[in-house]
Amino acid sequence: MPRSDVTEASPYIGRFAPSPTGPLHFGSLLAAVASYLEARANNGRWLLRIENIDPPREQPGASEQIVSALERYGFEWDGPLVWQRDSTEHHALALQALLDQKQAYWCKCSRRDLASAQQARVGAVYPGTCRDLGIAASSNLAVRVRTMNDAIVFDDRLQGLQSLSLEAASGDFVVWRKDGLVAYQLAVVVDDHLQQVNHIVRGVDLMDSTPRQVWLQELLGYRTPVYAHIPVAVHADGSKLSKLTGARALPLVGVEKILIEGLCALRQSPPRALLEASLEEIWQWASANWNMAALTGLTSVTANETTHLP
Ligand SMILES: [Zn+2]
């Protein structure tokens, strides 16, 4: 059975959780818009969490840029802005729970050890070298969580039933880094639990992470949220919009037109008259007409779709 414990009676709590590795671009806007409108359509709450758990990858000023761009585009989040690094204590408690249950273990493999082990196997699958070595805790070692061969199954609202064996796909994966920082997968799961997030709408590029997150939820006794993975924005040549492919920061002028382009990319078919409308009127139209089902089965959309306006 697909794992999703959220009942129809639970109040909807969604979120947008950008990493401050750079400013928002058009692809991030799509995830923000879709998660926001879906929460509003369900009379739910929409939380904003800055995932600042990886200081080495952070770009100075990016958090402030993200927040001011969201404000400029007219997003209104519920409750205070949440900084992921503020929950470090909870991340450490979750790690300890996994270690206490013997679901996680310390790993002393170096990058070089792993690289040579992988020469013999296809893909970046951890071979389980340290699984049963009983290595003692140490501040400069990573911690990995045990995986199983059983498939992790979840029913994505847009991409359908997903099933993956973690043992085959990644092997035991890192939940605590050897540099002493929490790994992304554990931080996200703990924070969603702390904030009682029960609906996650995000880009399909993150769907790879979902089975690992569902597995951690199960081990930690958390509820599994409902997932909807929306298409990612791609350039006209099909490459994904990202900082790496030179996606521009979201402009802070002419935001009305860009929001409409976002709605077009999200297959919402806004009327051409909306090009003359105020930001507030655009949001009113978008909230009243939001239809996430229009994205069913789509994994990519091209970035500029204004020419498709009816
Ligand atoms: Zn190891």
The full DSSP string for 226-261 is EEEEEPEEE-TTSPBPSTTTTPPPPPSSSHHHHHHH
In angstroms, what is the span from residue 150 Cα to ligand 1's centroid?
22
In angstroms, what is the span from residue 110 Cα to ligand 1's centroid?
8
Q: Pull the structure tokens for residue 130.
A: 């340290």
Handedness of CA 222, 228, 232, 238 (dihedral sign): positive
pLDDT category, 119, cuts 50, 70, 90?
Answer: low
What is the identity of the amino acid at 39? A
Does any domain span residue 128? yes
Answer yes or no: do 123 and 149 share one domain: yes
Answer yes or no: do 60 and 208 share one domain: yes
In angstroms, what is the span from residue 105 Cα to ligand 1's centroid?
9
In angstroms, what is the span from residue 213 Cα to ligand 1's centroid?
21
Answer yes or no: do 198 and 289 share one domain: yes
In angstroms, what is the span from residue 131 Cα to ligand 1's centroid?
7
The per-residue pLDDT for 123 is: 59
* Poorest-pLDDT segment among 3-7, 44-48, 126-130, 254-258: 3-7
Answer yes or no: do 195 and 79 share one domain: yes
In angstroms, what is the span from residue 136 Cα to ligand 1's centroid?
12
* Poorest-pLDDT segment among 60-74, 88-102, 234-248, 290-304: 234-248
Residue 221, domain extent: 13-86+188-308
In angstroms, what is the span from residue 98 Cα to ligand 1's centroid?
17
Q: Are strands 232-234 and 300-302 parallel, antiparallel or unpaired?
A: parallel
In angstroms, what is the span from residue 142 Cα to ligand 1's centroid?
8
Burial class (CB in 10 A: 0-12, 13-18, 19+), 111: exposed
In angstroms, what is the span from residue 130 Cα to ligand 1's centroid?
4
In angstroms, what is the span from residue 220 Cα to ligand 1's centroid?
22
| 259 contacts: CB under 8 Å, gap ≥ 6 | 29, 33, 73, 74, 279, 282, 283, 286
In angstroms, what is the span from residue 165 Cα to ligand 1's centroid?
20
> What is the domain count for the chain?
2
Q: How far apart are CA 48 and CA 227, in angstroms?
A: 17
In angstroms, what is the span from residue 53 Cα to ligand 1's centroid?
23
Answer yes or no: do 204 and 60 share one domain: yes
In angstroms, what is the span from residue 207 Cα to ligand 1's centroid?
25
In angstroms, what is the span from residue 256 Cα to ligand 1's centroid?
51
User: What DSSP state is assigned to residue 158?
Assistant: T
Answer yes or no: do 301 and 193 share one domain: yes
In angstroms, what is the span from residue 184 Cα to ligand 1's centroid?
19
In angstroms, what is the span from residue 133 Cα to ligand 1's centroid?
9
Tell whether the model's pLDDT for residue 134 goes beyond 90.
yes
Answer yes or no: do 246 and 108 share one domain: no
In angstroms, what is the span from residue 176 Cα to ligand 1's centroid?
13
Between 116 and 237, name the one with better pLDDT.
Answer: 237
In angstroms, what is the span from residue 114 Cα to ligand 1's centroid?
8
Nearest Cα to Cα of residue 36 among 83, 2, 70: 70
Answer yes or no: do 194 and 292 share one domain: yes
Q: Pull the structure tokens for residue 184.
A: 């992304």
Answer yes or no: do 158 and 219 share one domain: no
Residue that finishes a domain, picked among 124, 156, 185: 185
- The CATH number for 68's domain is 3.40.50.620
Q: Pull the structure tokens for residue 90.
A: 């909870």
Answer yes or no: do 215 and 304 share one domain: yes
Q: How far apart are CA 175 and CA 178, in angstroms?
A: 10
In angstroms, what is the span from residue 108 Cα to ligand 1's centroid?
5
Does any domain span residue 105? yes
Give whichever of 123-132, 230-239, 262-271 has the largest mean pLDDT.
262-271
Does any domain span residue 1? no
Q: How far apart are CA 9 and CA 245, in angstroms?
A: 42
Does any domain span residue 175? yes
The per-residue pLDDT for 9 is: 62
In angstroms, what is the span from residue 13 Cα to ligand 1's centroid?
37
In angstroms, what is the span from residue 172 Cα to ligand 1's centroid?
9
Q: How far apart are CA 188 and CA 15, in angstroms?
A: 11
pLDDT category, 306, cuts 50, 70, 90?
Answer: very low
* pTM assigned to the model: 0.91
In angstroms, what is the span from residue 223 Cα to ligand 1's centroid?
29
